[in-house]
Structure 1
């Protein structure tokens, strides 16, 4: 095993990641197809490792067809067997209990290939049959490798068309590649973010002390401008609506009638300078402002609810917050009819088991924990059909709750 990892932490993380991915997918599906596996996770290498393992298992199953009583080298038999394999391969259908172990192993292999490529490829080469690396085997490795693909590609170049090389020679090639192309190897940081979208990755637990420090984020100076950061476009803020001017009746009657503002005046009064300029000061009210009968009456206010968003001061509870808090208890979100259906259909008629489950779900802090709890404990304990209406309704309630 790679000495860069804490073995128990690596295995536990791989299983946790596989459980979460499988729970999310099999919530709405009974089986998974080959095309769906290729898009199962955002980390393409994990998906490819799963498909590669399925391919190896499929080859092993086909070998069982061979019998000493039949000539499998006959061209017609070979063609029929090849056609059969191709047809069946287009109808991959894997249930959760069979996929999850493959997914955990693919996750573990991906992490080793990322953080310790030397160990990963050294182990891969040493396990080749007859201590020989064939061109066909390397082609298969290349096909299902996405992380640090330059390593198998360069190995293929160094074989220079030979049908095979012995593993000790391939290990020499590997050492040359890792020495000369170390700066071209992929950094794990972007993959850490992708893994953490499902299950948070703690490098201090996953990796041994000194190794974890190599991937710790370093402090960045304010003056180190990020040239790759997307440029922010200037935001044009519409000018505030002009406040109505209240004048005494006597003054307004003395003023001559003013012509209505022209289109040019309207556009000019609302001009915004993009490069640091300000709005024109003191916008004036339209000349055809209606008269006000009494100067003692309060000044009319203009409603901006249709165009100006309301800013809620920090710390003030909104209506959405109040509604969310009101629906904080899962039990309160379940109607009486749903409660009886859940008890009868999901908990085998046991109201006590139902109440214990709801109480435990109420103690959780996020949707992922709740989904794992019902998927792994209650679904197995009470043999749920994950496609039933009752399970779907319960999941929707949990989504609203969290």
Structure 2
């Protein structure tokens, strides 16, 4: 069982939720502190995701510091000083409404996605990182996961051993198959949000029956859609995890290695590794199902989007968080690397006509896109905004 999330409703709900909470809190206060964030909303998960975002921003600032060629950030004394500094900062959080509201909005959206589709959520977290960084990421972030955390809790290896991302995702899928009947229902998790703002489940999502092959032979293989069914057992799940713990190529991290030494940038939404170029023949698209670039351009020009053409410079830098989730799941078989590669390929096109021709040739037929669907239409809108000429 999987779900299809209405991304526009999700985005609007997260926006209105964050506005309502912020208006109430900031009506009497100018700043919010860390302890107040932990009790801000009725949802513990939303509150902790805000803190998680702050931690990720700290990591980004730390990476900027470590990029200096003049200081040794591997030194144990420096490492301890940074740890102390971070502890002080964690007790000195002070954010005004302008900077806080976007954090809360993101936390609400991510919480809803985690409740509805934990496989997609956790898989996207893994995709931000190289395989050897997943273990460290989980060790640092498990405390922020309050919903469906059992799906990843046994992936944390305190001895510091790690495996590639595909191995972690395989165990994640197996964990889901073992636990899916015991996981808390999304409605039960999300009901707490209704205490702030009514959430219409009929609009937010629809259930979809689907089947998946969970095994992923390599990181280049398109990742199957999350939440789908595979034939597995609890013993198979344990055996898969054993492969991670005992595999011959596991990399051990020395106990003396500073905990913050990993070159991680966990604020990146998706992995920066591009999907490798392929020479395989794409599935030919049925002419009746192909997107007509002339009609599409004319339609967008006649609508409110006309003034927006040419306003996007790089597609790969302009897709929002909710759009990334929707496009990845609905258009690119759940594979964020495939979507990233598509965006970069479109960015290299010289005109709208060339870009639409490219997606017809590579994706419409190959991935069975419905040209009249909402995700395709929204994707085409972004492409229209990328180019100022039809070609």
Higher relative contact order (CA 8 A, sep 6+): 2
Structure number with bigger Rg: 1
TM score, norm. by length of structure 1: 0.48
